[in-house]
A and B are shown apart, each in its own frame.
Chain A
């Protein structure tokens, strides 16, 4: 067990994946000498060469579109999209080719590629640098979407994603890049598509992913002081969802709050509430609630903390599901 930041854990995970498999490549804007704008790929080009850590011209559709061709040729490319708001030029390639070529080729092509996207807000950035586009990808059959919330998960999930034969959208909570945590370099904590119970509780199941998980844990601390016990679940996999783990918790608590930075319309949170309502209907003691970003373009970052789900807003939802029966 060692301690490192999430950024370093991702870097180490990428390094280990590249050491294990010579077909693993990294491609993105500024990923070489600079090490990426967040330094996630720091030092990798120096150690693995320009053929394996490719500084791309600035065109996201091409970063993904050429990774598709590389996948057909047997390479596994980790594409770095510099910021969430810049992934949209690649949307066509992701939806039309990445997601569909395995099917179109009757299983002949393996679309083993990973698209890393630093997502969510909280870093005081300008527009297009703080978005939560995960639902766009989750709705596309053929893709999988995951998100890490701890350095240990970052280290292991990036390796598991690279090894996986399906294309994976890998959402990294950029506001947590510099927070440290324990990393077990020996063995992975669990499967890539399994949710994790981060804190056990009895009154309310609170589910989220990415940067929201830490906010949820803080909310659980505060709630505990007030005498309410929250069970905190990190979804980890956004598509598919580990509904079994979530349902087990909800059967116990009977109350559900889902937290996400994306607006709630047609969101991951909506899907979790719908699925769990169907599965756990007779255990529910209150309607499931979503704590989300508002249905507005991501605001100027001076007011982003009023947009992002906060401890207060989570606790307000907790109060509502707790009060629904009284």
Chain B
């Protein structure tokens, strides 16, 4: 199932494995930091699923199984890099410093974005599949014109890899040699659409046809994801051009809380991937190699629980916005139809609390 060209630095059992091109550069504290990130983001994700089930969110897109792909990539980024996410990049958002409650504004249906993208250098979520890949390449063209040493990362999944915009972004990035790292989380399923329908070749092979390097990394191996992403970003920053990273992983949960994966995939497949759990893998390493004590892991669990509780409280306190705010920022400059709508709503006496 997993090709031999997969970059892996940790086996599913958490044992180090040598790779001819990559080796882990991280020490125990940094590896423990990645573990902590993954535990926290999984806990926050589980809390969000619960919040949706309790009617507090309109929708949630879980990332269970993809924590290593996102945390490995997210921690490889430098502060000045810029990222273009989909709606499922909660781990990236966490690494960029976006407050968890802001990640949930989209799903609480109180905002179409949720955070200041320039402050965190993490763009607002793109829901239309693949659009953001072109936006990322355009941003990278701006970086080139500014003469800046910054990399730009575009996130998308195996499903969006079939979109014209993603393929056009490959053309643009190659032709203009833009500082773009395309990070494709191949979680095997586009809702119910399996990889076998999306591509007849491994996704990372596609890059070669466009004229830039593609690499497949074990998306459940946080050390490998970190090193592969770090090198691709470094190359991009100094004029090395784009790289496509295919993080080979698996969506353990549903596409979203509106999805029922039992209708299209078998439990046995899910079980296989549960044994490749990205968090257990790095925990094994930390125990075996660095003799990290149980109490230290427990501390992370406690911290994650506290953050989840805080998130819950923040979300429950998140009121529906004042309807009049729908007229804010529709345009940058005054617009007569927006003004007309705002005036009409004010005359009707609509307020934040009143709705039926």
Contact = CB atoms under 8 A, between A and B. Distances in A.
Interface in B9-33: none
Nearest to A89: B164
Interface stretch (B69-77, B130-138, B232-240, B259-267): B130-138
Contacts of B171: 57, 59, 62
A159 B152 CA distance: 31
B332 interface: yes
Interface string B107-124: 000011100111000011
Q: Which of the listed residues B146, B172, B337 has the most CB atoms from chain A within 10 Å of its own CB?
A: B172
A107 B332 contact: yes
Given A93-B165, A106-B329, A66 B137 contact: yes
Contact of B135 (A69, A74, A142): A69
B304 interface: no
B295 interface: no
Nearest to B164: A61
B142 A68 contact: no
Contacts of A284: none
Interface string B139-172: 1111111100000100000000000110011011
A164 B139 CA distance: 20
Contact of B112 (A74, A92, A104, A240): A104
B142 A73 contact: yes
By Cβ-Cβ distance, the 6 closest A-B pairs, closest first, are: A69-B138, A65-B134, A73-B142, A66-B138, A69-B139, A165-B332
A97 B332 contact: no
A75 B135 CA distance: 13
B197 interface: no
Nearest to A107: B329
Contacts of B140: 69
B131 A96 contact: yes
8 contacts: A66-B137, A66-B138, A66-B172, A73-B141, A75-B145, A93-B131, A105-B116, A240-B335
A73 B143 contact: yes
Nearest to A64: B134
A16 interface: no
A166 interface: yes
Contacts of A72: 117, 123, 135, 138-139, 142
A100 B139 contact: no
B317 interface: no
A245 B193 CA distance: 54
A109 B333 contact: no
B336 interface: yes
B143 to A, nearest CB: 7
Nearest to A58: B171
B116 A62 contact: no
B128 A105 contact: no
Interface of B: 84, 111-113, 116-118, 123-124, 126, 128, 131, 133-146, 152, 164-165, 168-169, 171-172, 175, 328-333, 335-338
Contact of A68 (B134, B143, B168, B330): B134
Contacts of B117: 72, 105, 108-109
Nearest to A113: B138
A103 interface: yes
Contacts of A26: none
A47 interface: no
Interface in A60-108: 61-62, 64-75, 89, 92-93, 96-97, 100-108
A62 B169 contact: yes
B131 A65 contact: yes
Given A73-B146, A100-B112, A165-B333, A92 B131 contact: yes
A110 interface: yes
Contacts of B137: 62, 65-66, 69
A118 B299 CA distance: 64
Interface of A: 25, 51, 54, 57, 59, 61-62, 64-75, 89, 92-93, 96-97, 100-112, 141-142, 144, 164-166, 240, 243
A166 B331 contact: yes
Contacts of B331: 102, 142, 144, 166
Contacts of A69: 84, 134-142, 152
Contacts of B116: 105-106, 108
B142 A108 contact: no
A104 B338 CA distance: 16
Given A106-B111, A164-B333, A97 B135 contact: yes
A65 B124 contact: no
B135 A240 contact: no
A139 to B, nearest CB: 11
A30 to B, nearest CB: 15
A102 B136 CA distance: 16
Contacts of A100: 112
Contacts of B112: 100, 103-104
A73 B137 CA distance: 11
Q: Which of the listed residues A61, A73, A144 has the most CB atoms from chain B within 10 Å of its own CB?
A: A73
A124 B175 CA distance: 35
A161 to B, nearest CB: 12
Nearest to B339: A240
Contacts of B172: 57, 59, 62, 66
Nearest to A164: B333
A48 to B, nearest CB: 12
B165 A102 contact: no
Contacts of A104: 112-113, 124
Nearest to B335: A240
A59 B139 CA distance: 17
A165 B133 CA distance: 23
A112 B143 CA distance: 17
A70 B332 contact: no
B239 to A, nearest CB: 14
A167 to B, nearest CB: 9
Nearest to B150: A73
Contact of A102 (B145, B164, B175, B332): B332
A251 B196 CA distance: 65
A70 B141 contact: yes
A59 B330 contact: no
A241 to B, nearest CB: 8
B332 A62 contact: no
